[in-house]
Structure 1
Amino acid sequence: MPYFLLILTALFWAGNFVLSRGMHAAIPPLALSFWRWAVALLLLLIITRQHLRAQWPMFRLHCRYIVVQGLLGVFGFTTLLYFAMQYTTVINAGLVNSCTPVLIVLFSRLLYRETVQPRQWCGVLLSLAGVLWTMAKGELTALWQVSLNQGDLLILTAAVIWALYSARLKRYPHGLHPLAYLTFISIIGLLAIFPFYLAEIQAGYRVAINPATVLTIGYVALFASVVAFIFWNAAVRAIGPAKASPFVHLMPVFSAVLAVLFLDEPLTRYHAQGAALIFSGIFMTTFHGRRGRTL
């Protein structure tokens, strides 16, 4: 079950990448970050009112952990991602973001001494090779033509922040309800985003209100925030950061599929080849032994 949740998470976040780039001219980055989590928080408050009252003592007990997670996962990662998509392409963002699984494994090792088997490292690198192959469209020489810009550097910083957030889930407080946890970190993240959002408004940047922007905010709030975060948090806590991290490499594959479905882009041989490498890496990282026993 955790692996299915990770696949869905990658799918929902792939849609977030595509939409944030496609709508970057209509929705300023801080506005998208603020309204994404404002709507998500409203949805969470509707379904978690009873949990919040019962879980308040847990928040007070683990306040420092929750605040840091909110600043990392909600404020830091989301805001940097949307700023990055103002300056870079989805292809470049996918390339740079593909280092996230390696960073998660590194943080897990450095912070918590989590054992990382050679097979897991090979799986991470194999799935990374699949991402590079997909992004290069089957021509590895094309990778040398990709130049880093400020957007790519922002994506790299966001990847580091997300890797740290994910590694820290290993210390998730026992007894803290997942929905209450997500609500708490959403509140922390929104409080951090709000003053920067006000500064963006004062600078003259406004959201163009139309059906496309409303649907975009609705999607990133429900699927990329509430559902995806619940799935990712649950899966990482169940199987560990090192084994969950390669599933991030599914995002470029799903991005290609979404482009075929909604942008009429062709599905080519290199997409299938890259997907095969990615799934092979995930299988290598997740399973071993003659009976397919999980790591």
Structure 2
Amino acid sequence: MNKKLWLTYGMLTFATATWGSAFIAGKYAVQSFEPATVAFFRFFGAVILLIPLMFVMEKNRQKPNLKDYGLFAVLGLTGIALYNIFFFLASKHAPVIKSSLFIASNPVLIVLLSALFLKETITRNNVIGLAIALSGAFFIITEGHLLSLFKLGFEPIDFVLMGAVVSWALYSVVGKVVLKKFSSVESTTYAVAFGTLFLMPFALAETSWQDVQQATGTTWFAIIHMSVLVTVVSFVMYYNGIKEVGAAKASIFINVMPVSAVIMATLFLGENFTAAHAIGAALVLSGVYIGTNPRLFKKKQAEKLVKNEIA
């Protein structure tokens, strides 16, 4: 495996692991603001950083046409505005186990949509790796009690959770189309700018100036963390990963998110790290390795053929 590919995989791991910290930061931020307002401030802060970054990094930028702006608007609507509204609504009204389960199933839909609309080749390794990583994510979410999944009945909030999954899958797949013409920095900047505009009416409706003045230092620190690391750095890295290895393969790394969320909850919120979490983390990492290593089974098959010929 070449160095560039290792760097891409390292960036995807860092990006998705950083997203896990959003669960912790978000928990502090919603103590002062409503969910849509937290999302608005997060992306407003991010776009302030992204615009100058884009001008510095992309000297020879292409001017977007009307169709490009339409695609950027779709990205902003799906991955920035709708996903965050659905996600925070669900985190407020649905059990954590159910919310986490739906979010963890995201890569499956991304793989299917990538195969259907982007004509990406889905290999056996991708499928095996995805299945193992997904089982690891489920193991972490249910703390080893997989049967508890069957006890969760269907509720109206499940439509909201489905909305979150579909929104992120569309964001990843449409993003691949945009990345054929624009860089990861440009794509992220335009998507976040449109998403911030879509979130603004919700923030204005649910937040007063008094709420802003009374927000704690911890809340603002959490929002700054989500703006800089979780959004600017991680989104650019994730989009770069999609550009280099495709949406299907990049989506396997999403399963790293629950692993990092559990580790950070243990460190910062004092939650227990159990044996089930360790097993789940091992499954996720194994799944990511298998799903991103196309020669793994081919190598073994080749060795078997050589042995048979010698015999």
The amino acid of 2:236's aligned partner reads I
Identity %: 28
Are positions 1:87 and 2:131 aligned together? no
Greater Cα offset, 100-109 or 180-189: 180-189
Work out the CA distance in 2 between the residues paired with 1:270 and 1:181. Answer: 38
Work out the CA distance in 1 between the residues paired with 2:265 and 2:286. Answer: 23
1:188 shift after superposition: 1.1
Choose the corresponding residue for 1:141, options 147, 159, 163.
147
Are positions 1:176 and 2:182 aligned together? yes
Where does structure 2 lack aligned partners over 5 or more consecutive residues?
Answer: 1-6, 300-311
Are positions 1:275 and 2:306 aligned together? no
Query: Which has the higher Rg, Structure 1 or Structure 2?
Result: 2
The amino acid of 1:65's aligned partner reads L
- The equivalences for 1:108-123 within 5 A come to 108-123=114-129
Aligned to 2:226: 220
Give me the TM-score of the superposition, normalised by structure 1: 0.89
Are positions 1:289 and 2:295 aligned together? yes
The amino acid of 1:123's aligned partner reads G
Greater Cα offset, 106-115 or 209-218: 106-115
Aligned to 1:164: 170
Aligned to 1:98: 104
CA contact (8 A) 1:85 1:151 kept: no
CA contact (8 A) 2:77 2:195 kept: yes
Are positions 1:127 and 2:133 aligned together? yes
Are positions 1:194 and 2:200 aligned together? yes
- The equivalences for 1:235-254 within 5 A come to 235-254=241-260
DSSP-derived class of the 1:55 partner: coil
1:45 shift after superposition: 2.7
CA contact (8 A) 2:62 2:182 kept: no
Q: Deviations over 1:160-201 (max 9, x none)?
A: 111111112221344523323222222211221112222223
Choose the corresponding residue for 2:78, options 69, 72, 76.
72
CA contact (8 A) 2:133 2:286 kept: yes
- The equivalences for 1:24-43 within 5 A come to 24-43=30-49
CA contact (8 A) 1:21 1:85 kept: no
CA contact (8 A) 2:86 2:161 kept: yes
1:105 shift after superposition: 0.4
Work out the CA distance in 2 between the residues paired with 1:141 and 1:174. Answer: 43
Where does structure 1 lack aligned partners over 5 or more consecutive residues?
Answer: none
1:60 shift after superposition: 5.1
DSSP-derived class of the 2:255 partner: helix
Work out the CA distance in 2 between the residues paired with 1:130 and 1:83. Answer: 25
- The equivalences for 1:259-270 within 5 A come to 259-270=265-276
Alignment coverage as a number of residue pairs: 292
Cα gap change, 1:95 to 1:291, in 2 (>3 Å): closer
Work out the CA distance in 2 between the residues paired with 1:28 and 1:175. Answer: 36
Work out the CA distance in 2 between the residues paired with 1:288 and 1:25. Answer: 45
Aligned to 1:3: 9
1:6 shift after superposition: 1.2
